[in-house]
Structure formats: C-alpha cells, structure tokens
C-alpha cells in the first residue's frame, strides 16, 4: 500500500535529505566543469593511482599560492578524468584530505601537508594546463603523473635578485601613480632596495614574519625620513609630500594583497576555516607593518620637533586614489602590473596582459573619483569588479587560471597613501594642525581596510560573473605541448 505521505502535493513536501556533494557540484563554475564523470567506481589500484595524482595536483597548487576553490576544482577534475566517480575533499590552509571508495567498497584516504607557500603563478598555469589536457583526454594518467613531478621540480622563472628589483620598481611606480615626482620615484627604488638589504640581514635570525614586517616597515620609514632630512637641508629637492609618497609606495610593496584576495575568496565560497586562517595571517602581517611604520613616524616626529623643523601636514595627504596627472598615472600603473607579474613568478607571456589589466583598474577608479565624485571604497570596488570580469575572460582565452592575472592587476588599487595618512594621524595627534586625532586615524585606517575588502570582494565577484562565458571565449582547443612553467 502506498504511503500517504508520498501523495502529498509538491508544495507541502519536505526538502530532500542532505547528500554528499557530487562531483558535478565540485566542478561547478570551474574551468573544468565539463569534465566527464565516470558512471562506476574504479578498482582499488586504479583508484589509488587516481587519488595520488589528484592530491599531488592540489598540493602543488596550494604550495604555489592558489585558493581553496581553485584547488578543490582541480582535484575533482583530475580525479574524475582519472576514473573516480565520487570523491570527498577537505582542504585547510596547510593540508588536503581526499577520500573515495573503490568498486569493491574499500575506502581509500590520502593526506598531504603543505607547511610553506611561495607564490609561483607560472607553476599554477602549468598545473592548470595539465589538468585541462587530462580532462580533454590529451594525456594519460601515467603521463600526467610524470608531468606533475616535472613541474614541481622545475626551477622558478626569475632569480631572487630579479624579484627584489621588480618589487622596488613596483613601489616606485605606485609612488608615481599617487603623485610622486621623478626624483621621488627614483629614491623609492633606493629605499626599497635598502629595505631588502635589511630583510636579508635579519633573515639569518629566522624571525617570524610578524617581526620581520615590523622591522622592514620601520626601516622603510626611517630611510625615507633620512631623505626628507636631506631635502629639508636643501641638499636634494625632496619635500614632505615626496616623503609621504615614498612611504606609501613602500607600503604597497609590502602589503599582503595576494593573501587577502585568497582569504576573501575562501570565505565567500564556503571555506571558513581556511579563509579564517588566511585572514589571521593578513591581520598579523598588517599589524606588523602598522607597528613598524608608526614607530618610524613617531621617531621622525620627535626628531623634527627637537630640531624645530616642519613635518608632513595633513592637507598634503589627499585621500584620492591618485594625485598625479592621468597620463603619467596610467603609464605608471602599466609598470605596476608588469613588476607585479615578476614578483609573483608569472609566465613571461602573461606579464603584459597583467599590465594592461592594471591600467584598466586604475583608470576606472580614477574616472569615478575625479568625475562623479564617487567615494574611494565604491570606486575601488567597481574597478575591482571590472578587473575580475576582464581578468577571467582574458585568462580563459590565454589558457590560464584567472587568479594569475587578477591578483597582480589589483596591486594598482592598493591604498598605500590612505594607510600612511591614518598612521600619521595616530602618531601625530596633538600637533598644532588641530585636525589630527586618534579617532580620525582609526577612521582613516578603517577606510583603508574598506578599500582592501572592496578589492578582494570585487575581484571575486567579477570572476564569478564572468564564469558562464568561459567556454565562449576559450577558443578552439589545441594540444598543449608545454610541460614545464616558463
């Protein structure tokens, strides 16, 4: 006899019971969502090999700076292409657990631990292309296992000195974007290179990152303060606004923008544990920077007070995205994107698109703030959405994961000048300007935090909105012969 509860109208029926997440859900809105999912479970040996390959892919991606959603999609696609019909995944900040059952019902569980991460976007592109080749049937599981080992052992694209130089050029270009003179831009490079020397010196002590960031930020502020002292003495044409721009450029070079973007993405897409861990790392890194810069500014204020000289006045530090003329600002933003590509160890063929995306982001933000008078947070968020949409579409066209273009392109939007203004207000309260209070400093720093959040959430939203057009912009598929990042 039929249970009367089954004959209830559809509107009165309860929801279906919670089920394990199927492979199709794991692949939704990823570049691999069209992967073929097997109908039946694999045998023990094949299943073990498939899981081993999938977890190696995820481990390498996590180690090179990918977020949890990208790692999950790549693992699920690799497992499906290798013959696994259903897989359970647990990804945290430092570990990956994968489990599946064979055709005989035997559970297989693999664990990988990632203790250290180093941003290497060229390697991420190589892994992405390998997974797409596996999903398309262009390579076998055995060949994919060989290639993933080769990718993991391949040397990084750029030596350490090149990354250091690119970081200095990045800071200098950011200073130009916000209004620095050519001399200040050149001196920004000198300051950042000097800070790199300080970093190498205290690296021998193996200090935790928090203390290292504080030391580096204090050193950058004091080095810039030394240049300001030379300018006040008439030795070089370097005034208080140049001092602010040099410190602001150094702040952007040290900000954990990459980790911030990954943290927000993890939280938004349902990885609260991983996202919380990344956010805590961002908070500690920012706290170290704030302590270091505030300490350097406090010492500079005391020295200028003792010598009877003037220091940076708050009216110099306008909180617009840029104080520079639009053409130099856009040219400098191109340099920001190019240098950022080197700092994240990107592929050489992707560096120019990063620069062009950076120009678009800075241009959108500048137009909104200078034209309709939109607030900095709103303008930055809209610019970040534009970067996310275009970055996703361009990345699919160039056969790369979107984060390798979007994250470096967002560096031109980072609020280095706002952070400097907030810290100045905190440490200079009580000065004769009368406008500097502890509350105003906190408000300004919260505004900078809002800009950082707008960048992270805006780029994630842009990528999400552009995801349905992946297949339309990808173009005709061709066999991928590149087996190593370069």
Question: What's the N-to-C CA distance of the chain in angstroms?
Answer: 68
Closest CA to 374 of 386, 384, 382: 382
Kindly tell me if the per-residue pLDDT of 19 is higher than 70: no
Q: What is the DSSP letter of 362?
A: H
Q: Quote the radius of gyration of the chain (alpha carbons, Å).
A: 25
Give the span between the Cα atoms of 135 and 35, in whole angstroms.
Answer: 6
Cβ atoms of 128 and 400 within 8 Å: the answer is yes
Provide DSSP, 148-188. Answer: HHHHHHSPPSS-HHHHHHHHHHHHHHHHHHTT--HHHHHHH
CB-hemisphere CA count at 13 Å for 13?
10
pLDDT at 8 over 60: no
CB neighbour list of residue 459: distance below 8 Å, 6 or more residues apart: 261, 384, 385, 387, 388, 391, 406, 407, 410
The confidence score (pLDDT) of residue 319 equals 43
Instruction: Give me the pLDDT at residue 128, please.
Output: 92
The answer to whether residues 249 and 416 touch, using CB atoms and an 8 Å cutoff, is yes
Residues 6 or more apart whose CB falls under 8 angstroms from that of 155 comprise none
Q: Report which of residues 25 and 111 the model is more confident about.
A: 111
CB neighbours of residue 363 within 10 Å: 17
Helices (H), 308-402: 326-343, 348-370, 376-397
Over pLDDT 90: what percentage of the chain? 20
Per-residue pLDDT at 334: 92
With cut-offs at 50, 70 and 90, classify the pLDDT of residue 235.
Answer: confident
Band of residue 254 on the pLDDT scale cut at 50, 70, 90:
confident
d(Cα 131, Cα 125) in Å, to the nearest integer? Answer: 10
Is residue 6 over pLDDT 60? Answer: no
pLDDT digits (tens, 9 = 90+) for 372-403: 777 888 888 999 999 999 999 998 888 888 88
Q: Classify residue 133 by burial, with Cβ atoms within 10 Å: 0-12, 13-18, 19+.
A: buried
Select the more confidently predicted residue: 389 or 21. 389
Q: Is 78 within 8 Å of 51 (Cβ atoms)? A: no
Q: Which residues neighbour 114 within 8 Å (Cβ) at sequence distance 6 or greater?
A: 59, 62, 63, 94, 95, 96
Rounded Cα distance, 227 and 247, in Å: 11
Higher per-residue pLDDT: 33 or 157: 157
Confidence of residue 21 (pLDDT cuts 50, 70, 90): low
Task: Give the pLDDT confidence score for residue 435 in this predicted structure.
Answer: 47
What does the pLDDT read at residue 15?
A: 57
Specify whether the CB–CB gap between 62 and 90 falls below 8 A: no
Cβ neighbourhood burial of 37 (10 Å; 0-12, 13-18, 19+): middle
Q: Is the pLDDT of residue 459 over 80?
A: yes
What is the structure's pLDDT at 479?
46
**DSSP label at residue 450:** H
119: phi then psi, degrees, rounded to nearest 5: -65, 125
- Is the pLDDT assigned to residue 162 strictly greater than 90? yes
Mean pLDDT of 221-250: 83
Q: Where are the domains of the chain?
A: 18-153, 160-474
Q: What is the DSSP letter of 139?
A: S
pLDDT digits (tens, 9 = 90+) for 294-328: 888 888 777 776 766 655 544 445 544 456 678 88
Residue-averaged pLDDT of the chain: 81
User: Is the per-residue pLDDT at 1 higher than 50?
Assistant: no
- Of the listed ranges 86-100, 126-140, 370-384, 435-449, the least confidently predicted one is 435-449
CA distance 88 to 104: 17
Using pLDDT thresholds of 50, 70 and 90, give the confidence band for residue 118. confident
pLDDT of residue 188: 92
Window from 67-81, 339-353, 357-371, 410-424 with minimum mean pLDDT? 410-424
Asked whether the beta carbons of 368 and 32 are under 8 A apart, the reply is no
* 86 or 425, greater pLDDT: 86
pLDDT at 321: 44
CB 87 within 8 A of CB 100: yes
Is residue 5's pLDDT more than 70?
Answer: no
216 SS3 class = helix
399: left (phi over 0), alpha (psi -120 to 50) or beta: left
């Amino acid at each position: 006899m039929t249970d009367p509860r089954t004959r209830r109208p559809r509107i009165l029926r309860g929801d279906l019971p919670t089920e394990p997440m199927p492979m199709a859900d794991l692949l939704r809105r990823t570049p691999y969502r069209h992967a073929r999912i097997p109908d039946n479970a694999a045998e023990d040996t094949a299943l073990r090999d498939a899981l081993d390959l999938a977890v190696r892919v995820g481990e390498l991606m996590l180690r090179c700076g990918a977020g949890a959603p990208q790692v999950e999609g790549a693992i699920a696609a690799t497992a499906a292409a290798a013959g696994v019909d259903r897989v359970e995944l647990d990804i945290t900040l430092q570990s990956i657990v994968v489990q599946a059952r064979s055709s005989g019902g035997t559970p297989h569980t693999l664990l990988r631990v990632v203790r250290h991460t180093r941003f290497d976007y060229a390697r991420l592109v190589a892994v992405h292309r390998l997974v797409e080749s596996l999903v398309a049937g262009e390579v076998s599981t055995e060949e994919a296992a060989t290639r993933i080992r080769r990718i993991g052992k391949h040397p990084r694209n750029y030596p350490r000195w090149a990354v250091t130089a690119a970081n200095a050029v990045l800071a200098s270009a950011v200073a130009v974007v916000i209004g620095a003179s050519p001399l200040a831009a050149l001196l920004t490079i000198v300051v950042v290179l000097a800070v790199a020397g300080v970093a190498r010196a205290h690296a021998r002590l193996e200090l935790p990152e928090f203390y290292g960031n504080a030391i580096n930020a204090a050193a950058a502020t004091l080095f810039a303060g030394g240049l300001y002292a030379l300018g006040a003495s008439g030795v070089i044409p370097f005034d208080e606004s140049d001092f602010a721009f040099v410190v602001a450029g150094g702040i952007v070079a040290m900000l954990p923008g990459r980790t911030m973007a990954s943290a927000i993405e993890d939280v938004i897409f349902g990885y609260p544990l991983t996202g919380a861990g990344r956010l805590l790392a961002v908070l500690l890194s920012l706290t170290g920077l704030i302590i270091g810069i505030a300490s350097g500014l406090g010492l500079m204020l005391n020295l200028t007070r003792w010598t009877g000289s003037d220091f940076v006045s708050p009216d110099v530090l306008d909180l617009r995205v840029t104080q520079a003329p639009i053409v130099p600002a856009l040219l400098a933003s191109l340099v920001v994107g190019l240098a950022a590509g080197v700092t994240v160890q990107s592929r050489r063929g992707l560096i120019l698109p990063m620069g062009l995306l950076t120009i678009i982001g800075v241009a959108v933000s500048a137009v909104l703030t200078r034209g309709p008078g939109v607030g900095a947070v709103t303008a930055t968020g809209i610019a970040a959405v534009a970067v996310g949409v275009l970055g996703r579409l361009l990345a699919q066209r160039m056969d790369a994961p979107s984060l390798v273009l979007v994250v470096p392109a967002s560096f031109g939007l980072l609020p280095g000048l706002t952070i400097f203004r907030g810290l100045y207000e905190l440490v200079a309260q009580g000065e004769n300007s009368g406008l500097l209070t502890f509350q105003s400093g906190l408000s300004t720093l919260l505004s900078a935090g809002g800009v950082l959040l707008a960048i992270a959430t805006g780029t994630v939203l842009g990528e999400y909105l552009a995801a349905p057009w992946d297949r339309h912009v990808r173009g005709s598929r061709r066999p991928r012969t590149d087996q190593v990042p370069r």
